[in-house]
Amino acid sequence: MKKNLLSVFSIGLMTALFAAFTFAQESRRTVSEISSLYVISAKAGGINFVEGKVAVTRKIGKSGYLLKGDTLEVGDKVSTSADGKAEILLNPGSFVRLAENSSFQFATTSLEDLQLKLDGGSAMFEVITDGEFSVAVNTPKAKFYIVKTGVYRVDVLSGGASKIEVWKGRAQISGANATEIKSGRQAIVNGEQIEVAKFDRDEKDALEIFSKSRAKELSKINARLQNRDVRTSLMSSFYRTRWSLYDSYGLWIYSPSFGSYCFLPFGYGWSSPYGYYYPRDIWQYNLPSVIYNPPPPQTVPPRVISAGETLSDKVRNPRASKENEQPTRPMPPFERIQRDIGRMPSERQVDVSPFPIGIPSSQPPPPSSPPPMILTPTGSPNKKGDN
């Protein structure tokens, strides 16, 4: 009888231990899956998409072919083959997309002074900026500043001359004859010679089609972010790196389901510069108040580039301020973009916050609400959907 009881007890104990082991394994697997979500807020250079052969010559480290998920450092030279394309992350919400037979590298990866070099070929730039996080594009015979949210194409032509097309937004050309290029216009630059003319935005080649299709795909990835996992990732990354609503316009957040980063904006109702809606934003994840209400940085407010202002060191270092300028409470960059639009979303209730403008609550509009208007960073409201 005692042997039977001992056997039953032993079997029960083994079963309990096995169940505990299985639960622990499952827990570790779940934690591992959640921890595979991660966030980038303060540095450019992530490889988000590769097609065909894309080679990299590392300044430090092993050279070879680029893979999705790799990271570029300053001085790493990227070259696409005849069938190669690549998408590279800039400041959160902004991308550079390389065409075939193109060469590229970063001169800096700091979001406050982001400078790139297009040594040959062609690239599309999808950029969110209000002047504080400007993007400088160097070519053999020209330097362009992207100073307004929009879509741009830069080509290095035969002989070394450079061309910029402003599909949407505004760019400036550096040099003694500093020139502003507005939407729908292009400029060909060869040293001090600058030719500005209109171009046909209805004519699109393979690079332009590729860039727009990627923008559409990334808005879909944003829409499918899973609430629980994203919230865990946001909180973990915040307490680890202390990103802030003052650092950028949003975050790069990784989706294991798609193997790509997508943009999670700080602002509500945003869309990409192409006009594709971002359904998910940071206000939907019920994060701790310390994240939503961070203390402002202890600095003089950033110097914002105004329309018509000539290029200077303040473009290269947008956070530099005027001498003797009195410090005031700075406005988070995403709030400044929305204030420039001239209106804030009204589809949701607002919470009390220390910011000058109310912050949307995490509650989505009721199902019976009409489709929301999309406040694009460029200021034009659009209906949700494909433009």
Domain limits of the chain?
Answer: 23-143+201-387
Query: Which of 56, 84, 22, 30 has its CA nearest to residue 256?
Result: 30
Q: Which of 235-249, 297-311, 340-354 has the lowest mean pLDDT?
A: 340-354
Average confidence score pLDDT of the chain: 76
Q: How far apart are CA 218 and CA 229, in angstroms?
A: 18
Residue 72 backbone dihedrals phi, psi, to 5 degrees: -95, 140
Position 320 pLDDT exceeds 60? no
Task: Please report the pLDDT score of residue 311 as a whole number.
Answer: 44
Position 347 pLDDT exceeds 80? no
Task: Please report the pLDDT score of residue 191 as a whole number.
Answer: 81
Position 5 pLDDT exceeds 60? no
97: β partners: 87, 124
Position 314 pLDDT exceeds 50? no
Task: Please report the pLDDT score of residue 321 as a whole number.
Answer: 45
Position 312 pLDDT exceeds 50? no
Q: Which of 224-228, 258-262, 290-294 has the lowest mean pLDDT?
A: 224-228
Task: Please report the pLDDT score of residue 140 as a whole number.
Answer: 92
Q: What is the pLDDT of residues 86-137, one digit of tens each?
A: 999 999 999 999 999 999 999 998 888 899 999 999 999 999 987 677 899 9
% of residues, the chain, pLDDT over 70 = 69
Residue pointed to by tokens 């949003």: 250
Position 384 pLDDT exceeds 60? no
Position 155 pLDDT exceeds 90? yes
Task: Please report the pLDDT score of residue 375 as a whole number.
Answer: 34
- Summarize the confidence of residues 322-347 as an average pLDDT: 61
Task: Please report the pLDDT score of residue 257 as a whole number.
Answer: 85
What separation, in Å, do the N-terminal and C-terminal C-alpha atoms of the chain show?
79
Higher pLDDT, 327 or 148: 148
Q: Which of 148-157, 232-241, 351-360 has the lowest mean pLDDT?
A: 351-360
**318 class by beta-carbon count within 10 Å (0-12 exposed, 13-18 middle, 19+ buried):** buried
Q: What is the pLDDT of residues 33-89, one digit of tens each?
A: 333 356 877 779 999 999 999 999 999 989 999 999 999 999 999 999 999 999 999
Q: What is the pLDDT of residues 254-270, one digit of tens each?
A: 988 888 999 999 998 89
Confidence tier at 24 by pLDDT (50, 70, 90): very low
pTM, two decimal places: 0.74
Position 385 pLDDT exceeds 60? no
The C-alpha torsion from 332 through 242 and 362 to 302, rounded to 10°, is 0
- Summarize the confidence of residues 323-351 as an average pLDDT: 58
Task: Please report the pLDDT score of residue 63 as a whole number.
Answer: 92
